[in-house]
Structure 1
């Protein structure tokens, strides 16, 4: 069976190469867009021939996705594409020539499952003066990601990395971070909540999933951030309710974002990597001070009924005069209908600053509906 499957893959790959080679051989005129994204594409010499051929054309959009076997070494002539606007590379090894001075027209860059060095990533981002969108997913090599580009507007980083440094991202409006590895207490990290946000004062949407919020737990958590994020409209984060420092960071972010319109919180409970300083719950509650005068929508996931979770929900309801809806998803699995009803009673008893605020509960042991 494995022999048959291998033979079939080889036949599909061979047919794919013949089709692409045939099309390029017969093509006359400019090539503006070149995209190849096959699940059967493997690293091979034909790819280098395609890139060399395209280097004589004014390619503006290039996508190459290697889905099989080892990563493909990108030929250096790709870095001579002077009019490139959009670049997507998947399953590649990237080593630009030392003479490379950036893509002067590039506006969007996507790297997924690529291998490159810290220095290469930093140079690529900083030498593309028109870059607006950057997406890094499961890249191999950099453990400390350092980015600097004043034109960047949209940033997505997902995967395993230890540290991140953002410099001069004054135009950034959307940022999404997803760390898939838990922070280790002995790792050398410099990024904390204060210096992480210092250069993104114009941020409008901030998403922090995986272990990212906990990765900002370095040193003392300030009661307030040095700046307020007046442009921030939407924030989404995963919160470990067993990690008091992570809770304080979340509170600090909320207190520094007066114009939020949407909040999304996914609660979870884990002792591993949690930092629990010598303080009680009351001290954490005392730091909740802000009023959400523009908040319209709140989405809560994985509510388990713990006191700190309920305090967060209670505070948001009591300090959001324009709130329209709070959605609670996937809550209280397997604890019995009695406990579910007790939770519903608590929610009903919370003071709501907004007379039109509605609470929608889903998957509460099949007790669905509006409260």
Structure 2
């Protein structure tokens, strides 16, 4: 009999199996768990066909991600509320063991799903990370059961209503809170923040119903506030490592004293590493004379979505850049109309950005105000290594024309080792390294 056969017959006629062991079945449970956690929920469920040991392994998956790709694979057609709710409910109620993370994307449905029962179930799983993105046409009311999630460390919500003004014990372990497009009152927000004594990261964007923002979180190290508000009061701001403030509409801010205290705390902080000003926030600081004389230790500055349609915006950008003598990385995005204002544009040519090495500038139309800003960076940055210019794809060929690149090429530049890059276009490819004697040419 062939020695390569996997079985043989004994004298009694019984078949003795010599098949190699099933390596998949013999894998230790901890190894199986590691493999399953790296798979999507759909793929984890499919693995149940491998062996009896894998049959229900997906039910104990510690991270459930029910996102858009998951729904596309499961439903593969227009999503109706009942079908969607049945799938989510079935997955949750069949789950067993500890659930570490739950991410859910609620699509645009024909009626409102029952999110309360899901959050109620999650409160009994020991979950520590919840992310729910609501794309339904109306905001969803946040269930009070969320306060029963005693192990919750991270919470991310999109398009919800929070109107709880009673202290349910809060989130004693919460370290990261991400709230986008949330409707709540100032009192509800106050209770929410007060119930998170360990909060380290807060992202508050596109909020509705709150005009006066007060944030009192003693352990906060990263903060983003981007919306429309009349006042901003951040306590313990001297502990911030990253601060990001945006104002989506220009308003006459009140309580200027608290805003001045905030900016001064950031300016004197030895911990602040990254500062971001968005939209009209920088203009408000400039017009109200709230910009400090110097952010002496700041290394990275972002000025985003600045609308250069009048002189105050241009001067505010120049002022804050000049107030950051130690900045090493600078990221700017601006837009402006095409009007001629070069005779009015000015800056202090004696200002020197001694530490600026890298600058990224997004421009909109290549106006003279935008070019003047680029000229300022080139003229005042003696050790600048890289200046990257970008724009929207639609405007690339219009802005980076031969004429404009010629202007850029002839701007006076202080750095002797500078490379300027711009998007691919029909313009000629100039090498912009200034290691020759003509670096000061006009």
TM range (shorter): 0.7 to 0.9
Correspondence list, 1:214-233, <5 A: 214-220=283-289, 225-233=292-300
Give, in whole Å, the separation in 1 of the partners of 2:285 and 2:239: 22
> Within 2, Cα distance between the matches of 1:154 and 1:119?
22
TM-aligned CA distance change 1:316 to 1:26, over 3 Å: closer
Q: Does 1:261 align with 2:322?
A: no
The structure 2 residue matched to 1:62, chosen from 127, 130, 133, is 130
Distance of aligned partners of 1:227 and 1:150 in 2 relative to their CA distance in 1, 3 Å threshold:
farther
Report the alpha carbon displacement of residue 160 of structure 1 after superposing the two structures with TM: 3.5
Inter-partner Cα distance in structure 2 for 1:126 and 1:246: 36
Alpha-carbon distance, 1:101 to partner:
4.2
* Corresponding residue of 2:186: 118
Match in the other structure for 1:234: 301
- CA deviation profile, 1:67-114 (whole Å, cap 9, x unmatched): 213222222121122211011122221123512343111111111222
Give the alignment partner of residue 248 of structure 1, picking from 315, 329, 336. Answer: 315
Larger deviation, residues 137-146 vs 187-196: 187-196
Contact 2:184–2:210 under 8 Å retained in 1: yes
Task: Give the CA deviation at 1:188.
Answer: 4.7
Structure 2: tracts of 5 or more residues without a match: 1-76, 433-442
Flag the 1:312–1:69 CA change in 2: closer, same or farther, 3 A: closer
State how many pairs are aligned: 345
SS of match in other structure, 2:164: coil
Larger mean Cα displacement after TM superposition, 235-244 or 54-63? 235-244
Q: How does 1:128-277 map to 2 (within 5 A)?
A: 128-181=196-249, 183-184=250-251, 187-191=252-256, 194-200=260-266, 201=269, 202-220=271-289, 225-269=292-336
Q: Counterparts of 2:411 and 2:244 in 1: how far apart (Å)?
A: 32
Question: Is 2:88 the counterpart of 1:20?
Answer: yes
SS at match of 2:265: coil
Secondary structure (helix, strand or coil) at the match of 2:189 reads helix
Is the Cα–Cα contact under 8 Å of residues 108 and 137 in structure 2 kept in the other structure?
Answer: no
Q: Counterparts of 2:84 and 2:430 in 1: how far apart (Å)?
A: 52
Distance 1:367 1:189, change over 3 A: farther
Using the size of structure 1 for normalisation, the TM-score is 0.79
1:76–1:95: 8 Å Cα contact kept in structure 2? no
- Deviation, 1:60, is 0.8
Q: Separation in 2 of the partners of 1:290 and 1:89?
A: 44
Aligned-partner Cα distance in 1 for 2:225–2:290: 24
Cα-Cα RMSD? 3.3
Q: Which has the higher contact order (CA 8 A, sep 6+)?
A: 1
Q: What CA distance in whole angstroms lies between the structure 2 residues aligned with 1:164 and 1:216?
A: 12
Q: Distance in 1 between matches of 2:347 and 2:92?
A: 65
What is the aligned partner in structure 2 of residue 285 from structure 1?
Answer: 347
CA separation of 1:228/1:71 partners in 2, compared to 1, >3 Å: closer, same or farther? Answer: closer
Output the CA distance in 2 between the equivalents of 1:137 and 1:122.
16
Give the Cα separation in 1 of the matches to 2:400 and 2:356. 33
Deviations 1:235-265 (A, max 9, x none): 3334444433333332332222122112223
